[in-house]
Chain A
Amino acid sequence: MKLKTLALASAIATTSFSSFAQELEITVSNLTHGIFFTPLLVAAHDENTFAFHAGIEASMELATQAEGGNPAPLKTLLDNANANTSANPVAAEAAAGTIDELPEGNPGFLAPGASTSLELSTDAENNRLSLTAMLLPTNDGFVGLDSWNIPTVPGTYSINLNAYDAGTEANDEIVTGGGALGIAGIPGCPGGLCGTGASGVTTIESNTKVHIHRNTLGDSDNTGGISDLANNAHRWLNPVARITITVK
């Protein structure tokens, strides 16, 4: 970085853009009591690209992640827009041996109360940071950061993140095990506190834009009721995550 780069930064700052490569150290913490994050997708991209916007309909790629947890299609979409992306830091940490090996059936969940870290090198022009990961167990809930303006000034920055609803699937709260795009139901319950036999909370999704999640309803009936979720385990209040970014 040093003097030359910083001098360039000040010159450009008058037009309020940064447009040079940066090195970021990122830590994401799951602040919820009982909600798991599916494999995270973190991306630095330009200001014409985005992973999601509240008030705009979700892309097919975002819906795929929000309904089933798979970050790959959205990663490809962003990669094709020349973003710098990092997917599934939990699995990367397990592979590197910095955390325990992941048990079978765990593709890289970030558990309630847990944190994970990654490093991201950004190209010039990629001065916006976004993050997405599905909330499990929900139908199409996700934790999101939308186009945070990466500071040009080195330092450590912390942001609280909210839970969004992709608006692409009715929140029936029935754990079916299926997570395919457009198929009703919740794909899994990593914490193991879900019930069975629910009749379903709703069959409609009237707001098809990405919006703030109204929270799960749940119930206290483990073998029936309208929801397979537990009302004393699977609720949250925003914020649901904290991301800490160190700009070197």
Chain B
Amino acid sequence: MNFKTSLLSTAVLAGSVLLTACGGDSDNDSNNDAASNNGLDYIFTVEVTNLTYAQPLSPPALVLHDGSYVLFNEGTIASIGLEELAESGSNTSLLQEAQAYDSVFDTLAGESIILPGASQEFTLRLEADHDEELNGAHISLVTMLVNTNDAFTGEKNIDISQFEVNQFKIYSGPVWDSGTEENSESSETIPGPAANGEGFNASRENDVNKVVFHGGVVSMDDGLSTSVLTQAHRFDQPGSRIRITRTQ
């Protein structure tokens, strides 16, 4: 985006929002945070669980924003940042894109893979100078199913502005297809451990170039002779579970 927007975004970020990534044990951070701000800030935990059988999830990209930001829409073109995440698992470009919007309060980059059946928890904080409705805060998060061409899961535009303390909500994360890479399932194109092939490629040839719900992978066991994937890599909706709790 342009220079003016970037500056604005930075100002908002410094003044009001702070996100921290936690490993499995978030207790220490939360306690320290609570002690340092007299318990006035708004604190949320976001737990992401991988519901697939054999699709590791890439380090998630989390975006904290107001109601006007949209990470993507079904039926429309994926941004280059989303394309890169969905094809390679890297969250870097997507979060750089998001930071350029003044509707984005802050972003958080997950740092490690979420294995099938495993969960990761993130803690995010809105400082106390937000109004009672948290300035309309929303969360969007996305992560790649790495043994696919361009599948990703997560959720977008989760409204957290009305959460009461100790309230939690659970969301089922669909699996989308970014529509930016042909689902060849070939060993050259699957970046995950099933093949260690290519990740991001800017070409969008031979695909629909719009985000849609994913139809699943076919796999060699189901007759796709060029596929490097097996029956174990198949999946159904939803691909992830997201549990958001307001802890303070």
Contacts and interface: CB of A to CB of B under 8 A. Distances in A.
B238 interface: yes
Interface stretch (A26-34, A94-102, A174-182, A202-210): A202-210
A225 to B, nearest CB: 11
Contacts of B53: 165, 206-207, 211-214
Interface string B224-248: 0000000111111111010000000
Interface residues of A, number: 25
Nearest to A239: B237
Interface stretch (B32-40, B62-70, B115-123): B115-123
Given A54-B49, A209-B117, A214 B236 contact: yes
Interface string A138-164: 000000000000000000000000110
A89 interface: no
Interface of A: 16, 54-55, 162-163, 165, 167, 201-202, 206-215, 217, 226, 231, 236-238
A212 B235 contact: yes
A201 B116 CA distance: 20
A55 B49 contact: yes
25 contacts: A16-B164, A16-B167, A55-B49, A55-B117, A55-B241, A162-B236, A162-B238, A165-B53, A167-B117, A201-B231, A202-B232, A207-B54, A208-B117, A209-B116, A209-B117, A211-B51, A211-B52, A211-B117, A213-B236, A214-B53, A214-B54, A214-B235, A217-B221, A236-B236, A237-B236
Main secondary structure of the interface of A (DSSP, over half): loop
B166 interface: yes
3 tightest A-B CB contacts, nearest first: A209-B117, A212-B51, A55-B49
B134 to A, nearest CB: 18
Interface in B101-118: 116-118
B238 A212 contact: yes
B222 interface: yes
Contact of B234 (A209, A215, A226): A215
A201 B221 contact: yes
Contacts of A206: 53-54, 116, 232
A237 B50 CA distance: 18
Contacts of A167: 117
A11 to B, nearest CB: 15
Given A55-B49, A55-B117, A237-B236, A226 B54 contact: no
B241 A54 contact: yes
A201 B222 CA distance: 11
Contacts of B241: 54-55
Nearest to A14: B164
Interface in B140-156: none
A163 B51 CA distance: 11
A175 to B, nearest CB: 17
A210 B164 CA distance: 30
B231 A16 contact: no
A54 B236 CA distance: 14
Given A55-B119, A207-B116, A238-B237, A212 B52 contact: yes
Contacts of B232: 202, 206, 214
Contacts of A214: 52-54, 231-236
Contact of B118 (A55, A215, A231): A55
Contacts of B49: 54-55
Nearest to A167: B117
A237 B237 CA distance: 8
A75 B118 CA distance: 27
